[in-house]
Amino acid sequence: MQIEVKATLSVGDTLVPLIFMSNGTYLSNLAGDKKEWPLYMTIGNQSLKIRQMPSTHTVVMVALLPIPIKNRNIPQTRLDEQRQTNREVLNNVHQVVLQPLTFKQNRNAESGY
């Protein structure tokens, strides 16, 4: 999702691009064949070399995403309904996690400056 903010930036403001990523991580050594989906964040204008160095701590985990139960041996209509529900839940989780980062149109009026 891209938000147009150029027109609202004042002189001296800084725009920092944030990149969010997720990948499935197996926990086979700890909990059988369980899997978790961490959501990571990094700043987008860093060099790739710096971002990929673990010692720089440029990628941070911000949430663990819910993992839907695998649906086996259920009718196709029920499977389609469950997939839609899973998408809605994941979308709602993303909104809750990212809500503190939303852009406020009139931040100077709210802070009293």
> Which residues have CB under 8 Å from 19's CB, separation 6+?
41, 42, 43, 44
Confidence of residue 91 (pLDDT cuts 50, 70, 90): confident
Report how far residue 18's alpha carbon sits from residue 41's, in angstroms, rounded to the nearest whole number.
Answer: 7
Confidence of residue 85 (pLDDT cuts 50, 70, 90): confident
Asked if pLDDT for residue 109 goes beyond 50, the answer is: no
Residue carrying structure tokens 């009718």: 75
Q: What is the pLDDT of residue 30?
A: 59
CA 73 to chain CA centroid, Å, is: 31
Residue 41 β-bridge partners? 20, 60
Element (H, E) at 77: helix 76-98
Measured CA to CA, the distance from residue 94 to residue 100 in angstroms comes to 11
In this prediction, what percent of the chain has a pLDDT beyond 90? 0
